[in-house]
Amino acid sequence: MNLLTVQGLGHSYFGRKVLDGIGFSIGTGEVVSLVGPSGSGKSTIAHIAAGLIMPRTGRITRGYRRHAMVFQEPRLMPWATVAANIAFPLKMACLPRRDRAAQVLAAALAAGLEPEDLPKYPVELSGGMRQRCAIARALVAEPDFLYFDEPFTALDVALKRRMQDLVIAASAQARFSALFITHDLMEAIRISHRILVLHPTGQGIAGERILTGDPATRSEASVFASREAFLTGDPLFAHIHDLDERRRP
């Protein structure tokens, strides 16, 4: 069963076409990464699919029950504690205050936070801890679909890997599906079941590659070998590191 289906998606900014003919689907329990050159429209696709932007053309079919989104910046409320930030979706869903605490704690633990972190404010947290809080906020309402919009771009290599491991573990435990936007091919290989490659100018999906094995079982050696094979021997990935800042929305 497909939880997300995108058909004939097109979009323009100020009369300039940036996306056209985008189509793909994501099935139950599947994590799909979308890679492509910077400025090619990857984040715009995720925002349209999530309903944050209205497309110029195309159709989005959402078969999931509830979705959440993790952005590149944590986007936490600075005046609220970690617990209050995590609980925000539950508050918006009008869940009684007495019923929120257990779900907040469970989501915090799943994101690698500790109970003693809950009374802290964002200013007291490191960059990695703030991103953990953002992930916990996404998990707290138990979504069956998640959108990740380059969430670990600003983190250092070691911390990025820990965050990737967190996504892999959370996906395996909660069995959510996800669209993961990234410019890091190694990251896409580590966390995904399938990789979609966006055309360099946003004119459709250039192709896809299905990854073997489960993300939780892949070794670093196999991830690195796959990356090298894609970059050196697969023409589909020839332009994923190109940069066209003029196309950035």
The pLDDT tens digits for 185-201 are 999 999 999 999 999 88
Count of helices and strands (H, E) across the chain: 7, 9
Is pLDDT above 70 for 247?
Answer: no
DSSP state of 51: T
Mean pLDDT of 31-47: 92
CATH of domain 1-65+156-249: 3.40.50.300
- Cβ-in-10-Å burial (0-12, 13-18, 19+) of 6 comes to buried
Give the residue among 226, 221, 222, 248 at the shortest CA–CA distance from 237: 226
Q: Say what the pLDDT of residue 234 is.
A: 95
Catalogue the E-assigned strands of 110-165. Answer: 145-149
User: For residue 187, what are the contacts with CB-CB under 8 A and spacing of at least 6?
Assistant: 33, 152, 160, 164
Q: Where along the chain do the CATH 3.40.50.300 domains lie?
A: 1-65+156-249
Give the residue among 157, 140, 192 at the shortest CA–CA distance from 171: 192
Percent of the chain with pLDDT over 70: 97
Least confident residue range of 13-22, 114-123, 179-188? 13-22
Q: Give residue 107's pLDDT band: very low, low, confident or very high (50, 70, 90).
A: very high
User: For residue 235, what are the contacts with CB-CB under 8 A and spacing of at least 6?
Assistant: none
The pTM (predicted TM-score) of the whole model is 0.92
Is pLDDT above 50 for 85?
Answer: yes
Q: Give residue 219's pLDDT band: very low, low, confident or very high (50, 70, 90).
A: very high
